[in-house]
Amino acid sequence: MSERPYPFEKNRYYYGKMLTSADFQAEQRYNEYKRMFLNQMVLGRGVLCGLGVRMLDERTLLIESGAAVDGAGREITVPGDTVKKLSAFEGYDSLAKQKAALYVRYREETAQPVCVVNRKAEQDEYEDNRIREKYEFFLADCQERQQSGPDEDFFVEALLSGGPDYAVSLRMPAVVSRGRRVRLSLLVEKLSDEESSLSLSGVLKLPAFLTAEGAQELHICEEDIVLECGAFRTYDHWLYASEVEFDSTTILWDVDASAITVDGSEAECEPDPELPLRLTDRTPEELIKWRVGQKSLEEKNHGNEEEAVRLAEISIADEAHDHVLREVREFGVKRYIPVPESEEICREYLSYYSEHAEYIRDMLPAAEKKEEEIPAREAEAPVIRGGTLEIPLDVKMKKGKICYSEEIIHGLGPGNVYVDVGICNVDDGAGSRNKSDTVVYGDTGLFEGKNRQGISAQTAVKVFEARGSFQVAARLTGEQNTIVLPLRWTAVRVPDGTDTDGEDGNMQIVPETPTVRLSQGEKHYFSVRFKNMLPCTLKYELMEDGGGEIGPDGIYTAPAKAGIYEIRISCADHRSVCTYVYAVVGGKE
């Protein structure tokens, strides 16, 4: 549909008006266009239900029944399942690539011919009495990934490397709420069919953000990334947006301290990539409503220029000049339109998860956090880490009162770590880290009269070795003239003889119950404890055929035959770190 449905025009009825076919067509057009306009504005283009795509064999697709709304706002209804050979789809013969997109589009056809009673001289004797709404599927070459699109106002991207094998970029909201945690995404896309691996290391400069360790630099390291052509992988990093006074900032990629390699060779990198951002005091909820609502009518329709609805991406292999299906991918390709009918079940489902992703990360034990927060012992972790923190003070806090900080992740991982803190000297007494020019470690009372801030306090640090974190306690020893106690901390790993320079060394996995007695068909989970290492992915293997079944999650099902069966449990990343457990099958004592 090339014409716009607006401005809307409807019949004006009056006594004695002569109605012709043009008037009735205008009446239909008005109601259709109004409905299509609302579909465009409220729903957009996408699938309402069904329309799943499956491979039946290497040359045949099954498309399930369902409903969709196209870019013009027209409803597309597929009342039954469709089974079709790949070569029978429209557009198949014109495909130029080995990756295609499957679409469905709206179509009409006339039906039910009837005799024309009062016809014009040039008119046919028979006219079709109905217009039947239909649909059709077709194939088209996948479009190249665009850096901008309908969501370009909401997100900003910086391309780090553009191929030819891999594209690497950074992505964030274009406008960030101050005082909130925000996600920075590292996006990796495979562009070619060549088998290759990508490794990336780099430093991001964060003028207005803090990492989990309180630093204004984010170190990114991802190694041996292997993807198939067209596949994406996302690596998320959470940052805290500081409550700064300026309204715009830029995240910089330190080119000199960074490297991107493909199969060991340096990849093509963009010069001085950066993420320009704006900062606001609006909440994310207010911000998204405002930015969605401020779009003009032309901008709103910009994303609906393509009328057909994309259902899947299809990988096609050319085998001896005969195209066969290799893979069908729906996730990340098909857009589902949320409908009121599903809101209740969606709310109930989401209620089983934390409201914000950062809360989930805070609740995890330190050993389960991502590698950039707590580097594994076997990796090359920094020997020293540092940062700043603030302890809020009660108004008119009495001398001798003790206050505590939150638990802080120091970033050196579990083990023997020494942490010391000092009190920052601040001009305005409000805890602004930007104006600190001296730090007092130890007893601040020895510098009374020389410390412009005048905070007198004793500090102590409790280190949680197993969790890789610490907590600071402070006792006021003088008068209080600030509501925030600003501190600078330094963490140093103390060698204790357990580091093994990347070898397995003293790392162990110890079964909670090495031997269990089970009845035939009974299930049991073999849990383990990790010693001198972080928790990792485990592999479970039966040591003999007929010894039952064990899933990748470690749940063992005893066989029907009595006997003693051995199971090997090993670390996926360190196969030499392993243990053995035994199942005695044949009835419990």
Q: Which two tokens stand for residue 583?
A: 């199942």
Task: Give the three-state DSSP class for 175.
Answer: strand
C-alpha torsion angle, residues 83, 89, 90, 91 (rounded to 10): 150
Counts for the chain of helices (H) and strands (E), in that order: 5, 39
pTM of the model: 0.55
| 320's tokens | 């001896």
Whole-angstrom distance, CA of residue 489 vs CA of residue 420: 6
The token pair at 37 is 């306009």
Residues of the chain with CATH 2.60.40.1080: 508-585
| Integer Cα distance of 301 and 298 in angstroms | 5
Fold of 155-293: Immunoglobulin-like (2.60.40)
Helix (H) or strand (E) holding 103: strand 99-115
**CATH 2.60.40.10 intervals, the chain:** 155-293
CA distance 219 to 211: 10
Distance CA 470, CA 474 (A): 13
Residue 52's pLDDT is 93
- State the pLDDT at residue 376: 41
pLDDT of residue 514: 84
Do residues 104 and 308 lie in contact, with contact meaning Cβ atoms separated by under 8 Å?
A: yes
The DSSP code for 41 is I
Q: Is the peptide bond before 150 cis (omega within 30 degrees of 0)?
A: no
In the structure encoding, which two tokens stand for residue 401, read together? Answer: 């009162």
pLDDT in tens, the chain (589 residues): 556 777 888 999 999 999 988 999 999 989 999 998 888 888 888 999 999 999 998 889 999 999 999 988 899 999 999 999 988 999 988 888 778 899 999 999 999 999 888 888 788 888 888 889 999 999 998 875 544 444 556 788 989 988 788 899 999 998 888 888 899 999 998 888 788 899 999 888 888 888 887 788 889 998 889 888 778 889 999 899 888 888 888 888 888 788 888 888 888 888 878 889 989 888 888 887 777 776 677 766 665 557 899 999 888 887 656 778 888 888 878 889 888 877 777 777 767 765 444 444 444 444 344 444 434 444 344 468 788 888 888 777 778 888 888 888 877 767 788 888 888 875 444 444 444 567 888 777 777 655 445 577 888 999 888 777 888 988 887 776 777 888 888 888 776 554 444 445 578 888 888 888 888 888 888 888 888 877 778 888 998 888 899 888 788 899 998 888 989 888 887 777 888 888 888 855 4
Question: Of the CATH numbers 2.70.70.10, 2.130.10.10, 2.60.40.1080, 2.60.120.260, which one belongs to the domain with range 508-585?
Answer: 2.60.40.1080
Phi, psi at residue 32, to the nearest 5°? -65, -45
Cα–Cα–Cα angle for 147, 216, 209, rounded to 5 degrees: 60
Residue 366: φ, ψ to 5°? -60, -35
Domain 384-493 fold is Immunoglobulin-like (2.60.40)
How far is Cα 469 from Cα 436, in angstroms, rounded to an integer? 25
The predicted pLDDT at position 170 comes to 92
Q: Residue 514: which residues within 8 A CB-CB, separation 6 or more?
A: 579, 580, 581, 582
- Count CB neighbours of 107 within 10 A: 12
Write the DSSP assignment of 202-222 as a string of letters: EEEE-TTEE-TTS-SEEEEEE
Contacts with 515 (C-beta within 8 Å, 6 or more apart), sequence order = 581, 582, 583, 584
Per-residue pLDDT at 356: 46
Distance CA 237, CA 211 (A): 8
Q: What are phi and psi of 320, to 5 degrees?
A: 55, 50
List, in sequence order, every beta strand (DSSP E) within 522-562. 523-525, 528-531, 538-542, 549-550, 555-557
Name the residue among 127, 168, 104, 108 with its Cα closest to residue 21. Answer: 127
